[in-house]
């Protein structure tokens, strides 16, 4: 049994961390820091946790020493918070974007401001066990990738690692509204966001840098907000470097993800849910990946879906923690998702 504390606990990712860790058999939640709601019960912000906990949010200065510290604070703020809190915990898992990139110049390029703790950048291992499991076993600084990045990375990794695709990749990402967080602006008003098909990025998105670093590709991403609260789907358009066949691609995916507890290869010939779709993944830690190869073989779509707050955030953090602690990787993450929903 270890203790865990969460900073940024009143936001949506903070709420998911609480949900997962309160249900985790090896973790005791020691503190939930919120600057917006100190003193309030955590189920005020997260009504799904009613009668699961009597915990209250606390201020940062009330944070106890803890075995693992999870940060779900905003980008730019986190690079100020983390240095002053890092000593409070042996292991730090950050869910913001501030420690995902290793190169400060790259950070400034994508985030528009200089990094304020560049000396820490190199210490973090990406919280993506499918790619970095061995390093995570001993990592005490973990940075969970962005939700759309995780989907794209898991869709592309089997192809990129096998050398099957050219480096230029078009990533079409679709995402629900919860990715904008609990304090978002007027464009997230229900009347405006409901029924949206809102192309909010046509290239240069921060997650491109993470995909590039993980897969060695040159991604170009568009992102569309769709009518959903949770869920991310990516469709990656790739070009095979040589003639390949559908069974060959299928084998590459199956081989790469054999034994992975949270990646399922979904590429069926028929059926309603024959390709990855977030609808059946809400609350679950799965990333479903699939593909479609053009008959001529000239184009290969790599597709993935996940719940942005679980596998795209809090679930990946818990899975990484499980790896770090040597626990069974599915611990506390057994929920399968529901259907229909």
**Active centre residues (catalytic):** 147
Nearer residue to a second copy within complex by CB, 16 or 98: 16
User: Which CB, 106 or 237, lies closer to a second copy?
Assistant: 237
Nearer to a second copy, 145 or 176 (CB): 176
**CB of 173 vs a second copy, minimal distance in Å:** 11
Phi-psi region of 243 (alpha: psi -120 to 50; beta: other; left: phi over 0): beta
Are 257 and 155 in contact by the 8 Å Cβ rule? The answer is no
Residue 259 beta carbon to a second copy: minimum distance, rounded to whole angstroms:
11
Among 283, 312, 313, 315, binds a second copy (CB under 8 A): 283
Shortest distance, CB of residue 95 to a second copy, whole angstroms? Answer: 16
Q: From 15-23, 59-67, 205-213, 244-252, give the range in contact with a second copy by CB under 8 A.
A: 15-23
CB of 195 vs a second copy, minimal distance in Å = 5
Contacts of a second copy in 226-265 (CB under 8 A): 226-231, 233, 235, 237, 264
Whether 16 and 313 have beta carbons less than 8 Å apart is answered as yes
| Distance between CA atoms of residues 98 and 107, nearest Å | 8
Residue in 28, 65, 134, 294 binding a second copy, rule: CB under 8 A: 294
Q: Of 72-80, 86-94, 99-107, 290-298, which segment contacts a second copy by CB under 8 A?
A: 290-298
Q: How many CB atoms lie within 10 A of CB 270?
A: 5
DSSP character at residue 165: B
Total number of residues binding a second copy (CB under 8 A)?
84
* Residues within window 40-59 making contact with a second copy, judged by CB under 8 A: 44, 46-52
For residue 292, give both structure tokens.
Answer: 């479609």
DSSP characters over 98-111: TTS-S-HHHHHHHH
The structure tokens listed for 254 are: 């199956």
Q: Which of 320, 325, 313, 329 is nearest to 19 (CA)?
A: 313
For CA atoms 209, 178, 7, 284, give the dihedral sign: negative
Rg of the chain in Å (alpha carbons): 19
Tell me how far apart the alpha carbons of residues 120 and 84 are, in angstroms, rounded to a whole number: 12
Contact with a second copy (CB under 8 A): which of 140, 279, 327, 331? 279
Residues 171-210 interacting with a second copy (rule: CB under 8 A)? 172, 174, 176-178, 180, 182-184, 186-199, 202-204
């Amino acid at each position: 049994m270890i203790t865990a504390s969460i900073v940024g606990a009143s936001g949506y990712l903070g709420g998911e961390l609480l949900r997962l860790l309160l249900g985790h058999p090896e973790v005791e939640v020691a503190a939930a820091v919120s600057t917006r709601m100190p003193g309030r019960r955590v189920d005020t912000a997260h009504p799904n946790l009613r009668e699961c906990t009597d915990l209250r949010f606390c201020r940062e200065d009330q944070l106890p020493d803890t075995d693992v510290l999870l940060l779900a604070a905003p980008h730019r703020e986190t690079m100020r918070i983390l240095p002053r809190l890092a000593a409070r915990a042996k292991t730090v898992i950050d869910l913001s974007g501030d420690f995902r990139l290793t190169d400060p110049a790259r950070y400034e390029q994508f985030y528009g401001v200089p990094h304020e703790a560049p000396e820490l950048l190199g210490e973090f291992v990406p919280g993506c066990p499918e790619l970095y499991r061995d390093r995570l076993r001993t990592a005490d600084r973990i940075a969970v990738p962005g939700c759309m990045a995780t989907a794209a990375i898991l869709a592309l990794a089997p192809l990129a690692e096998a050398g099957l695709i050219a480096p230029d990749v078009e990533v079409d990402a679709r995402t629900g509204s919860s990715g904008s967080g609990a304090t978002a602006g007027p464009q997230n008003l229900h009347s405006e966001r409901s029924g949206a098909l809102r192309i909010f990025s046509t290239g240069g998105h921060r997650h491109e840098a993470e995909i590039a670093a993980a897969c060695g590709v040159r991604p170009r991403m568009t992102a569309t907000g769709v009518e959903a609260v949770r869920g991310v789907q990516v469709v990656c358009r790739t070009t095979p470097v040589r003639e390949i066949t559908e069974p060959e691609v299928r084998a590459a995916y199956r081989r790469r993800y054999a034994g992975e507890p949270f990646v399922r290869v979904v590429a069926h010939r028929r059926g309603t849910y024959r390709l990855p779709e977030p609808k059946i993944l809400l609350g679950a830690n799965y990333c479903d990946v699939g593909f479609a190869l053009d008959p001529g073989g000239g184009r290969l779509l790599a597709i993935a879906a996940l719940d942005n707050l679980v596998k795209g955030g809090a679930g990946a953090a818990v899975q990484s923690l499980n790896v770090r602690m040597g626990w069974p990787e599915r611990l506390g993450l057994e929920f399968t998702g529901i259907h229909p929903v």
